[in-house]
Amino acid sequence: MVNRIRSELMKYRHTFIPWMVIGAPVVIALLCAWQAYSRPQGGLQTGMMIDNGLLIWFNLWLPFFCALVAGTMMHMEQWKGLLVRPLSVFSLYILKGAALLVLMILTNGLFLVCLLLLSLLPASAGSDAGFWMGSWAGLALFFVPYSLALLLLAAAWGRTLTVIMGVVGMIGATAWRTLTGYGVIDPTGLQLLLTAILLAGVGLLFWLGGGLWFVRRQRRW
């Protein structure tokens, strides 16, 4: 299974996807640190940097990133060519979902590492690291079912509509944050655990359900 996921990821090594996975976390983290740096106040305002980072990353960048990657993954595959391959449509769809989740883990993890490294700089104001890491974890978990739902949308309707839905997700997340002021998840242990279970369950339904739906679609070809 690991080798198959690695093989699936190798398909995208000559595309823009690796650059987005690695480059976006570094650039966004540096921009947020630059914005939050204040020489008169004695250094980096860590709380502001992390707050802005979570806002830009989860409200603006990640909805579009998930849509673009999911759409590209499905767009590159010649599904009718599977008729001559020793791999079922269901298996390949599941592999694409696994590859998408691996990319999500990598890019989210790199973003968190960048924020933590930048927080080591001389700071004028610190932040509650436990709270923000818990909030980061909760928000990252939310994008598990979101990304798998976009993968299903890309399989059904193509990359263009998927990217449009990613833009809609950006607008919706920003509007939610603007209207309610609520953009984080309270990272208490029980709530975070229940959130993880709920979102993992919804993501699994999208993942397996999408694979079964695509099997039915293949039979019509």
| Distance in angstroms (rounded) separating the CA atoms of residues 93 and 212 | 9
**pLDDT score for 219:** 61
Per-residue pLDDT at 94 exceeds 70: yes
Concatenate the DSSP letters of all residues of 158-202 into one string: -HHHHHHHHHHHHHHHHHHHHHH---S----HHHHHHHHHHHHHH
Residue 191: count of CB within 10 angstroms of its CB = 13
Share of the chain above pLDDT 70, in %: 76
Taking the C-alpha atoms of residue 178 and residue 10, their distance in angstroms, rounded to an integer, is 39
DSSP 96: H
Treating both helix axes as pointing N-terminal to C-terminal, what angle do 129-157 and 46-54 enclose, rounded to 10 degrees? 20
With 0.85 as the threshold, say if the pTM is over it.
no
Q: What is the structure's pLDDT at 188?
A: 56
CA 28 to chain centre: 14
Could you tell me the two tokens for 103?
Answer: 């990319």
Report how far residue 218's alpha carbon sits from residue 221's, in angstroms, rounded to the nearest whole number. 6
Q: Residue 221 is encoded by which pair of tokens?
A: 């070809």
Look at the alpha carbons of 2, 19, 120, 186 in this order and tell me if their dihedral is positive or negative: negative
- The pLDDT assigned to 84 comes to 46
The model's confidence at residue 22, banded by pLDDT at 50, 70 and 90, is very high
pLDDT digits (tens, 9 = 90+) for 65-90: 999 999 998 888 755 444 445 667 77
Q: Tell me the per-residue pLDDT of 152-196, one tens digit each, with 9 for 90 and over.
A: 888 888 888 899 999 998 888 777 777 655 555 555 555 666 667
Q: Is the dihedral of CA 26, 32, 35, 38 positive or negative?
A: negative
Q: Are residues 148 and 169 in contact, defined by beta-carbon separation less than 8 angstroms?
A: no
The pLDDT confidence band at residue 4, using thresholds 50, 70 and 90, is: confident
What is residue 152's predicted lDDT score, i.e. its pLDDT? Answer: 86
Q: Hunting for tokens 């070809």 — which residue is that?
A: 221
pLDDT band at 127 (very low <50, low <70, confident <90, very high): low
Amino acid at 40: P
